[in-house]
Amino acid sequence: MKPHWASVQGGRRPWQGLLLTACLLALWTPSAMSQLRIESVPPNAAEGQDVLLRVHNQPANTQIYRWFRGATTEEAYRLAAYSLSSNESKPGPANSGRETILPHGSLAVRNVTVNDSGVYTLDIFDEDFTSIKASGQLRVFAKLPKLFITSNNSSPVEGEDSVVLTCDPETQNTSYQWWINGQSLLNDPRLDLSTDNRILTLLRVTRNDTGPYECAASNLVSYNRSDPFSLNVSYGPDAPIITPPGSNVGQGTNLSLSCHTASNPPAQYTWLFNERPQSSTPELFIPNITANHSGSYACFAHNSVTGLNRTTVKTITVFELVTQPSIHASNTTVMEQESVVLTCHSRDPEITIRWIFNDQSLRLSSRTKLSEDNSTLSIDPVRREDSGEYRCEVSNPVSVKKSEALLLSVSYDPAQSSSDLSPGAIAGIVVGVVAGVALIAALAYFLYSRKTGGTSDQRDLTEHKPSASSHSRDTSRDNSPNEMDEVSYTSLKFNAAQPKEPTFVPPASTATEIVYSEVKKK
């Protein structure tokens, strides 16, 4: 034994030899006295490959190689033996016909299977029939087969069924992975994976769980991905939606309603009118409808798989199209200060009446009054500006019609024209107002300079406004809503004129500007 030991050790220092021996003792049987080593090429083999278990550091004077299946040298597990003298590999009892020893001692295993995985032992005899042993691992991985996903329920019902998806077939030493809609699995409490990731459980599926699902399997030598798999989740129907949304229709038009609901499989629809079945399509069409088509229209949706029903009811009111109204006046020519009554006549029920003056919606004043149903318009007293074209307009939810125009003329005595001012007179009044304002401003300034910091600019303005509006009251009408415009207009002039007044220096000029812009907006 010693010579072989020395030859194997070569020129190594003693401590290296000790270390090595310790390692070998730890790794292998106490009789192992060599650094003989086995290497698998490739280290991880795919099923069907040819694998070589190579021998490293074998002694120079080897005579016989013997290979065994497992960590043993029992004859029953011998795969083959090779004698260098005969240059011949002879199969042993455990040989499958695929194991051969090559001239330099390596074991070739052809067309490996997963079952070939495991420990292989080499026993070498030298010329003194001294035995040296070593063993190594052969790792064979299955070539992963085509994968497919199976489900334990082909048409689960939303909110009820849980589904188990399995990535098949199962192979050893394989890791599995899943994708839903091309995304890795999210941390969803409704998703449950088996410990080997091969089985995916979906708890209480929803319509959003349709997928597609894909699974992949991988080991050290191969990778395979399944075809996408989609889950046919039955759901619905949801509450049907009826279109169009309007509920008022004109008599003589066609009623065309459409019903839709989300449902898988598609819902069966039934239309009911006042609870009597009409059609079993999503569309309901009734041409040339009449007043007795008013009522409730129900769309009933049924899903034969989920067994669920949902109904939406819509109330339709059929309106006759309004006819043209007529307009009458107590008198079409009136004197100023007299009164007049205009009447709108319509045969149609349930109408709304609107009055139109000179093609614009009539603006009511204190002199104009409407009856409760708007059918009568009284003007008292009449003014010359009331002359013009009057129309009334009747409408219901589906139609609108205007009357012919009625021309109202208001005659007046020109001599009595209190409210008629020539442009010259207006100019005179404006000049007067500006002068008055200047005087008041001067007075205000005088008071202000005496009582320094006493009054604010805002107060000055509010003091001036009444003078301006009282003037406008003189020139135009009484307290009608329109008066506001006049007031604003005059105030605007006054404010615009202000900066020209050198005597009026407001303590905070910005305040003036803010008020000015507010007035301007009117």
Ligand X SMILES: *[C@@H]1O[C@H](CO)[C@@H](O)[C@H](O)[C@H]1NC(C)=O
Would you tell me which residues interact with ligand X (CB under 6 A)? 48, 111, 113, 139, 152-153, 162-164, 172-173, 201, 206-208, 252, 254, 287-288, 290, 292
Identify the residue whose tokens are 């007299």: 338
Residues whose CB falls within 8 Å of the CB of residue 186, separated by 6 or more in sequence, listed in order: 180
174 neighbors 142 (Cβ within 8 angstroms): yes
| Minimum gap (Å) between residue 128 Cβ and ligand X | 38
Strand partners, 300: 270, 311
| Minimum gap (Å) between residue 173 Cβ and ligand X | 4
Q: Token pair of 283, please?
A: 């569309």
Length of the chain: 522
What letter would DSSP give residue 234?
Answer: B
| Minimum gap (Å) between residue 240 Cβ and ligand X | 17
Residue number with CB closer to ligand X (53 or 437): 53
CA distance 457 to 506: 6
Give burial (CB, 10 Å; 0-12/13-18/19+) of 197.
Answer: middle
- The region, left, alpha or beta by phi > 0 then psi within -120 to 50, assigned to residue 211 is left
Torsion (CA) 279, 280, 281, 287 in degrees, nearest 10: 0
Residue number with CB closer to ligand X (162 or 343): 162
Q: Token pair of 231, please?
A: 């889950």
DSSP string, 62-98: EEEEEEEESS---GGGEEEEEETTTTEEEE-TT--SS
Residue number with CB closer to ligand X (46 or 461): 46
| Minimum gap (Å) between residue 417 Cβ and ligand X | 56
Residue number with CB closer to ligand X (181 or 358): 181
Residue closest to 99 by CA, chosen among 89, 88, 109: 109
| Minimum gap (Å) between residue 155 Cβ and ligand X | 10
Residue number with CB closer to ligand X (297 or 448): 297
419 neighbors 480 (Cβ within 8 angstroms): no
Residue number with CB closer to ligand X (44 or 177): 44
| Minimum gap (Å) between residue 253 Cβ and ligand X | 6
| Minimum gap (Å) between residue 115 Cβ and ligand X | 9
Residue number with CB closer to ligand X (199 or 444): 199
Other residues' Cβ atoms within 10 Å of the Cβ of residue 431: 10
| Minimum gap (Å) between residue 152 Cβ and ligand X | 4
